[in-house]
Amino acid sequence: MILVFAEQRDGVLKKAAKEAVSEGKRLSSKLNMPVGAVLMGKGADQAVDEVKKFGPDKVFVVEGEPLDRYSADGFAEAAANVAKEQGANVILFPATTMGVDVAPRVAAKVEAGLVSDITGLDVADGKIVATKPVYSGKAVATVKFKSDIQMVTLRSNVFPLEENPSDPEVAKVDASGIAPKGIAVATELKEGGKVELAEAAVVVSGGRGMKGPENFPLIEELANLLGGAVGASRAAVDAGWIDHSHQVGQTGKVVSPTVYIACGISGAIQHIAGMGSSKYIIAINKDEDAPIFNVASLGIVGDLFKVVPALTEELKKLG
Ligand SMILES: Cc1cc2nc3c(=O)[nH]c(=O)nc-3n(C[C@H](O)[C@H](O)[C@H](O)COP(=O)(O)OP(=O)(O)OC[C@H]3O[C@@H](n4cnc5c(N)ncnc54)[C@H](O)[C@@H]3O)c2cc1C
């Protein structure tokens, strides 16, 4: 079986989870294996209808008070139990914050090889072959597995989301025997974007060229108009202009939107590591030699304080 961790919060399936189940479905025809989607945590049963749209052959709903609050080791134990019971050969996780927290623990429990943050998946000789960017995106590694159980975490916004409705069997799994060592006692959500940075289709990011926190509303307005999220370089974050949760790059979030707009960002390798796999990169920088132009699909050499408001005005005209 191909088992997919279908991450949900309060009954709402994560976009990255839909992508992972879609990829599981595509793999299932190549490997000739059924796809199981596992839902857990508060609201898991409410996400069943949504997950069915992406074609799983079976849905596992892990229920029980021990998992009502998030617990990395509790979720990992529950996922590993399902994987063992079902004899899962391949396990897919979205490379979300939760996914990267839980997946390595599952890998240890089921003795699986794990390749994280992959951007490509294929099949050769009955096993999966994963590709992932390495050396801050300067090269791509192709990884084969020696282990029997093969696990990957999938980078968000890379694998196409494909509706493929099915009528799977829904199995309830009792989690009452799980005794998490640690649980999240409170969750504090940061203010800001309505759209989650790692899942956004459009990201508008600001760097040191933004000059100060008072100018960030400029890119927030542009991001809102495009239905996107606001990102930032580490220089802007370190200067205290914007919260670290917006940082894109090697020590921040990895994003892979359809459109990434870099405003006043030079394009250091550590920044590219977090956005280099975006489909279209638009760079606005007043220095025509800025390295960001080496990865840009469209480069605008100019003052962002002129270019961004002009772009915003044009977009407003489009309604
Ligand atoms: C271990 C390590 C990890 C790191 N992790 C990260 C990370 O996760 N993310 C990250 O971003 N960085 C990271 N960095 C830092 C990285 O090396 C760079 O220092 C940082 O990305 C620079 O940010 P910046 O491009 O905003 O600033 P700068 O490099 O100072 O670039 C500012 C740019 O703004 C342009 N500009 C100025 N004014 C204007 C204007 N009016 N209009 C248009 N353009 C203008 C300038 O021409 C310049 O190109 C890391 C570094 C290390 C050593």
Query: Cα(314) to centroid of ligand 1, in Å?
Result: 27
3-state secondary structure of 265: coil
Q: Which residues contact 251 (CB under 8 A, 6 or more apart)?
A: 234, 270
- CATH code for the domain in which residue 52 is found: 3.40.50.620
Question: Within a domain: residue 134?
Answer: yes
User: Smallest Cα–Cα separation from 282: which of 205, 221, 200?
Assistant: 205
Tell me the angle at which helices 97-110 and 72-86 cross, rounded to the nearest 10 degrees.
Answer: 50
Mean pLDDT of 116-121: 95
Question: Within a domain: residue 184?
Answer: no
Do residue 170 and residue 272 come from a single domain? Answer: no
Question: Within a domain: residue 257?
Answer: yes
**Predicted local distance difference test score (pLDDT) of residue 190:** 65
Mean pLDDT of 82-103: 97
User: For residue 64, which amino acid is it?
Assistant: G
Instruction: Report which ligand 1 atom has the smallest distance to the Cα of 267.
Output: 25
**Predicted local distance difference test score (pLDDT) of residue 193:** 56
Do residue 169 and residue 231 come from a single domain? Answer: no
Mean pLDDT of 291-301: 97
Q: Which residues contact 135 (CB under 8 A, 6 or more apart)?
A: none
| Containing structural domain, residue 311 | 197-317
Do residue 58 and residue 165 come from a single domain? Answer: yes
pLDDT in tens, 195-204: 789 889 999 9
Q: Which residues contact 215 (CB under 8 A, 6 or more apart)?
A: 206, 305
Instruction: Report which ligand 1 atom has the smallest distance to the Cα of 269.
Output: 17
Question: Within a domain: residue 180?
Answer: no
Do residue 161 and residue 213 come from a single domain? Answer: no
Mean pLDDT for the chain overall: 95
Which of 139, 174, 209 is a domain's end point? 174
Query: Cα(254) to centroid of ligand 1, in Å?
Result: 16
Do residue 135 and residue 204 come from a single domain? Answer: no
**Predicted local distance difference test score (pLDDT) of residue 241:** 98
pLDDT in tens, 137-168: 788 999 999 999 999 999 988 899 999 999 99
Do residue 89 and residue 232 come from a single domain? Answer: no
Confidence of residue 319 (pLDDT cuts 50, 70, 90): confident
Which structure tokens are listed for 289?
């030699």
Ligand 1 binding site (Cβ under 6 Å of any ligand atom)? 207-209, 233-236, 247-252, 264-266, 268, 270-271, 274, 284-287, 290, 303-305
Instruction: Report which ligand 1 atom has the smallest distance to the Cα of 292.
Output: 49
Which of 271, 304, 306 to probe ligand 1 with, by most ligand atoms within 8 A of CB?
A: 271
The phi and psi torsions of 91 (rounded to 5 degrees) equal: -125, 125
Confidence of residue 117 (pLDDT cuts 50, 70, 90): very high
What proportion of the chain, given as a percentage, has pLDDT over 90?
89
Do residue 267 and residue 156 come from a single domain? Answer: no
Question: Within a domain: residue 269?
Answer: yes
Q: Number of folded domains in the chain?
A: 2
Looking at the predicted structure, is the pLDDT value of residue 9 above 60? yes
Mean pLDDT of 38-51: 96
**Predicted local distance difference test score (pLDDT) of residue 163:** 95
CA angle 61, 64, 66 (to 5 degrees): 125
**Predicted local distance difference test score (pLDDT) of residue 188:** 77
- CATH code for the domain in which residue 227 is found: 3.40.50.1220
Query: Cα(189) to centroid of ligand 1, in Å?
Result: 27
Mean pLDDT of 50-63: 97
Question: Within a domain: residue 105?
Answer: yes
Question: Rounded CA gap, 91 and 87, in Å?
Answer: 10
Question: Rounded CA gap, 18 and 32, in Å?
Answer: 20
The phi and psi torsions of 227 (rounded to 5 degrees) equal: 70, 30
Question: Within a domain: residue 241?
Answer: yes
Query: Cα(213) to centroid of ligand 1, in Å?
Result: 15
Question: Within a domain: residue 29?
Answer: yes
Distances (CA, A) of 68 to 17, 79, 133, 306: 19, 15, 35, 49
Looking at the predicted structure, is the pLDDT value of residue 72 above 60? yes
Do residue 121 and residue 208 come from a single domain? Answer: no
Question: Rounded CA gap, 303 and 263, in Å?
Answer: 9
User: Smallest Cα–Cα separation from 71: which of 45, 41, 29?
Assistant: 41
Do residue 219 and residue 158 come from a single domain? Answer: no
Instruction: End-to-end CA distance of the chain: give it in Å, rounded.
Output: 47
Do residue 25 and residue 154 come from a single domain? Answer: yes
Query: Cα(115) to centroid of ligand 1, in Å?
Result: 29
Confidence of residue 84 (pLDDT cuts 50, 70, 90): very high
What proportion of the chain, given as a percentage, has pLDDT over 70?
98
Do residue 159 and residue 284 come from a single domain? Answer: no
The region of weakest confidence among 62-66, 74-78, 145-149, 208-212 is 62-66
Confidence of residue 89 (pLDDT cuts 50, 70, 90): very high
Confidence of residue 216 (pLDDT cuts 50, 70, 90): very high
If you average pLDDT over each of 82-86, 198-202, 315-319, which comes out highest? Answer: 82-86
Do residue 202 and residue 170 come from a single domain? Answer: no
User: Smallest Cα–Cα separation from 222: which of 246, 195, 204?
Assistant: 204
